Chain A
Amino acid sequence: MANRLRTIEAVRGTLRDEMARDDSIVVYGQDVGRNGGVFRATQGLIDEYPNRVYDSPVAEAGIIGLGVGLAAYGLKPVPEIEFAGFTYQAFHQIQQHVARLRSRTRGEFHCQMTIRAPFGGGIRALEHHSESFEAGYAHVPGLKVVVPSTPADTKGLLTASIRDPDPVIFLEPTRLYRSIREPVPEEDHVVPLGEADVVREGEDVTVVAWGAMRHRVLGLVDDVDASVEVIDPRTIAPLDTDAILDSVRKTGRCVVVHEAPRTAGMAAEITARINDRALLYLEAPVQRVTGYDVPYPLFARESAYEPDDDRIRAGIERALEF
């Protein structure tokens, strides 16, 4: 059985299912209670679980720091940070405690926490509401980083994240919350972390993209005069390197697309891994189609900043024509 759901409904349904399944899950964050979250991801949960759903004061470091205590106690915190651009206010808690608790105590403690945050650009939001910092979190050992791109994957990945014994940064692309509707399995649905999805098979060039960029890529590949394979890693850390390498060994060409700035972005890491282990299969340098190395602009300029159809198409053509 499957209902046609939007991403936001998949988030809500998954939280509800997991809370029913496991009474150690606590959901909290700014406006997640009565208001149901600024995007309504937690709507209604406080009525069902008044003792496990809490509104939080505006205190991102506090929200995450409290979670370390909840997790040490044995509860499973699933906090929401209202926008990923405000996870910086909690970065020290994430980097110094959430990510390290297991290793610094040699497994005596661990931090089973899924930090959800609306993420990425494209919704004409205020300053600081559109950032893509997945590479920053991927750079922190001990964390897992997930970016779902479809309603069904959202359910499968959020379920896997909440059940994962290690901390997960779960980044939900805001512009996909309501833009797609698709069948989502009603029954238990787990998409294992670290498994990429080969969204579309092709022979000539591999395009790696996640979040909103996956859909932008899929929207234009039919117009490209080549057979394009599209891979959505779904989990940024740990990255499914083998899926990308298998594809590149077949096509010999690769384009990586992301909204985040180019320097030290995930495209650089993916390129390095291809160079390490599949260099001799390459027919062209890996092409990076990314945001520029500028602070994410206010929304009047955001469409000029993020990779658009023309830039992605040009990147694919550069890979094909090298």
Chain B
Amino acid sequence: MPRETAVDFAIDRVQVLAPDGSVDEELDPDLPEDRLLGLYRTMKLSRRLDERAIALQRRGELGTYAPAIGQEAAQVGSAGALSESDWMVTSFRETPAYLTRGTPPHVLLWYAMGMEEGAAVPRETRNMPPSVPVGSQALHAAGLGWAQEIRDEDAATIGYFGDGATSEGDVYEALNLAGVYSSHAVFFCQNNQYAISVPREKQTKAETLAQKAISAGIEGVQVDGNDVLGTYAVTRDALESARGGDPVLVEALTYRRSLHTTADDPSVYRLEEEEAEWEARDPIERFEAYLRDRGALSDERIAEIEASIEDELAEEIERAKEGAQRIDPADMFEYVYATAPPELERQRADFGGESDGE
């Protein structure tokens, strides 16, 4: 037989909560109602934080900011499946994920205010700081997951990146190395359809991004990224697999409903019709309708939640602004090394006007 199929591969796609409100009972993660409401509130908080951040940027109070509007289900569902002993590695659009893990909004705002304080996430929270170089952080997730394997820890690491990052060599190396070293990594790719302006179909000829896993010999799966029950269920299973040394790539199909960053104008590269299509698939609206259906939400309850979010954000934005007043530029010398070497001390003295002029 001169030519035959050597191996056959397939990629599954998962959806638990359909846009019409129906739930697949077999795949339903069956979360208790308070958990469901917790996820809902975090999604709403993130949406509102993004809106306020864009407004703050327009007023000159914030630097460039990357909103995650439209991607709340992808992130809140996946980060919601993490346990406290798991690590999280992010790119620069992970506001919903950080909020899910308990990072306060003012810290996220600090990063967009140009302050390292916004990347100084406490190490004990097991969250890594945001990472701007596209895809580079996937390797850190693979490395953390490898450390968990070396130390035989019953924990996993989630690594976030976007569709654009799958064009980077680092992401391929991360998938491959995670497989080689039985890293406890779950790679969570949010396919929001655009790498700034370049649409998904111009980034790769591959039919799915999940199939990038196949070349690395690890499992790949697609999930409806606007379905918070789906992203939760798929990530929960992927984390379980990863804890046993089998890393997984999850591709969440979603849409960046807002700007790439506040420096971006999507009207140049995409059609309003397309935006309207995805507006109809908005993750928060879908989840809200589901929660209303099962009697967990009412108009009054939603109004209460929205009011508490407004209060929280007002306080957090105030706290962010106060923090920005307190920064000391001289401490940029402080954290370069554990102990500043003599030449750096000389520069610090120059900066402080204490140079001996030698």
Query: A residues within 8 Å of B by Cβ?
Result: 26, 51-52, 54, 56-57, 59, 61-62, 64-70, 72-75, 92-93, 96-97, 102-110, 141-142, 144, 164-166, 194, 237-239, 241-242, 277
Please, which residues of chain A bring their CB within 8 A of the CB of B146? 66, 69-70
Q: A69-B139, A72-B140, A105-B121 are in contact. Are A51 and B129 (CB under 8 A)?
A: no
Determine whether the beta carbon of A241 is less than 8 Å from that of B342: yes
A124–B83 alpha-carbon span in the complex (Å): 54
Contact of A93 among B139, B176, B180 (CB under 8 A): B139
Please, which residues of chain B bring their CB within 8 A of the CB of A26? 150
Determine whether the beta carbon of A65 is less than 8 Å from that of B147: no
A105–B117 alpha-carbon span in the complex (Å): 7
Contact of A106 among B89, B151, B170, B335 (CB under 8 A): B335
CB 8 Å contact bits of B128-139 with A (1 = contact, 0 = none): 110101001011
Please, which residues of chain B bring their CB within 8 A of the CB of A69? 89, 139-147, 157
CB 8 Å contact bits of B91-123 with A (1 = contact, 0 = none): 000000000000000000000000011011111
| Most interface-central of B89, B116, B358 (chain A CB within 10 A) | B116
CB distance from A14 to the nearest CB of B (A): 21
Mostly helix, strand, loop or mixed at chain A's interface? mixed
Closest 7 CB pairs of A and B: A69-B143, A65-B139, A238-B341, A62-B173, A73-B147, A66-B143, A69-B144
Contact of B139 among A52, A54, A62, A277 (CB under 8 A): A62
Residue of chain B at shortest CB distance from A51: B150
Contact of B143 among A73, A142, A166 (CB under 8 A): A73
Determine whether the beta carbon of A109 is less than 8 Å from that of B123: yes
Residue of chain B at shortest CB distance from A239: B343
- Within 8 Å of chain A (Cβ to Cβ): is B46? no
Residue of chain A at shortest CB distance from B117: A106
Chosen A-B contacts, 23 in total, with CB atoms closer than 8 Å, are A57-B180, A59-B173, A65-B170, A66-B139, A66-B146, A68-B140, A69-B141, A69-B142, A69-B144, A69-B146, A70-B150, A72-B128, A102-B336, A105-B120, A105-B121, A106-B119, A106-B331, A107-B120, A108-B122, A142-B337, A165-B338, A238-B341, A238-B344
A237–B342 alpha-carbon span in the complex (Å): 11
Please, which residues of chain B bring their CB within 8 A of the CB of A66? 139-140, 142-143, 146, 177, 181
Q: A73-B144, A142-B336, A241-B342 are in contact. Are A105 and B139 (CB under 8 A)?
A: no
Contact of B133 among A75, A96, A142, A164 (CB under 8 A): A96
Determine whether the beta carbon of B129 is less than 8 Å from that of A104: yes
Please, which residues of chain B bring their CB within 8 A of the CB of A72? 87, 123, 128, 140, 143-144
Mostly helix, strand, loop or mixed at chain B's interface? helix
- Within 8 Å of chain A (Cβ to Cβ): is B148? yes
- Within 8 Å of chain A (Cβ to Cβ): is B169? yes
Residue of chain B at shortest CB distance from A276: B358
Q: What is the number of contacts between chain A and chain B, taking CB atoms within 8 Å?
A: 143
A110–B136 alpha-carbon span in the complex (Å): 17
Residue of chain B at shortest CB distance from A194: B341
Please, which residues of chain A bring their CB within 8 A of the CB of B169? 61
Determine whether the beta carbon of B341 is less than 8 Å from that of A104: no
Contact of B121 among A56, A74, A96, A108 (CB under 8 A): A108
Please, which residues of chain B bring their CB within 8 A of the CB of A96? 133, 136
Please, which residues of chain B bring their CB within 8 A of the CB of A241? 342-343
Residue of chain B at shortest CB distance from A235: B341
A194–B344 alpha-carbon span in the complex (Å): 13
19 further A-B contacts with Cβ under 8 Å, apart from A68-B143, A69-B141, are A56-B177, A57-B176, A59-B173, A65-B136, A66-B181, A67-B143, A68-B139, A69-B144, A73-B87, A73-B143, A73-B144, A92-B133, A97-B131, A97-B133, A97-B136, A103-B336, A104-B116, A106-B335, A238-B341
A57–B176 alpha-carbon span in the complex (Å): 9
- Within 8 Å of chain A (Cβ to Cβ): is B228? no
Please, which residues of chain A bring their CB within 8 A of the CB of B73? none
- Within 8 Å of chain A (Cβ to Cβ): is B174? yes
Determine whether the beta carbon of A93 is less than 8 Å from that of B144: no
CB distance from B92 to the nearest CB of A (A): 12
Please, which residues of chain A bring their CB within 8 A of the CB of B173? 59, 61-62, 65
Please, which residues of chain B bring their CB within 8 A of the CB of A238? 341-344
Please, which residues of chain B bring their CB within 8 A of the CB of A239? 343
CB distance from A196 to the nearest CB of B (A): 12
Please, which residues of chain B bring their CB within 8 A of the CB of A54? 181
A238–B342 alpha-carbon span in the complex (Å): 8
Determine whether the beta carbon of A110 is less than 8 Å from that of B338: yes
CB distance from A225 to the nearest CB of B (A): 34
Please, which residues of chain A bring their CB within 8 A of the CB of B343? 238-239, 241
A142–B341 alpha-carbon span in the complex (Å): 10
A73–B152 alpha-carbon span in the complex (Å): 13
A68–B143 alpha-carbon span in the complex (Å): 7
A275–B128 alpha-carbon span in the complex (Å): 43
A106–B331 alpha-carbon span in the complex (Å): 9
Please, which residues of chain A bring their CB within 8 A of the CB of B176? 57, 59, 62
Determine whether the beta carbon of A52 is less than 8 Å from that of B150: yes
Q: A105-B120, A109-B129 are in contact. Are A65 and B174 (CB under 8 A)?
A: yes
CB distance from A27 to the nearest CB of B (A): 12
Please, which residues of chain B bring their CB within 8 A of the CB of A56? 177
Determine whether the beta carbon of A62 is less than 8 Å from that of B120: no
Contact of B150 among A65, A75, A277 (CB under 8 A): A75
CB distance from B98 to the nearest CB of A (A): 14
| Most interface-central of A54, A66, A166, A277 (chain B CB within 10 A) | A66
Determine whether the beta carbon of A65 is less than 8 Å from that of B142: yes
Determine whether the beta carbon of A62 is less than 8 Å from that of B177: yes
Determine whether the beta carbon of B170 is less than 8 Å from that of A61: yes
Please, which residues of chain B bring their CB within 8 A of the CB of A108? 120-123, 129
Q: A70-B146, A194-B341 are in contact. Are A92 and B335 (CB under 8 A)?
A: no
Determine whether the beta carbon of B342 is less than 8 Å from that of A242: yes
Please, which residues of chain B bring their CB within 8 A of the CB of A70? 143-144, 146-147, 150
A108–B169 alpha-carbon span in the complex (Å): 28
Residue of chain B at shortest CB distance from A62: B173
Residue of chain B at shortest CB distance from A59: B173
Please, which residues of chain B bring their CB within 8 A of the CB of A142? 336-337
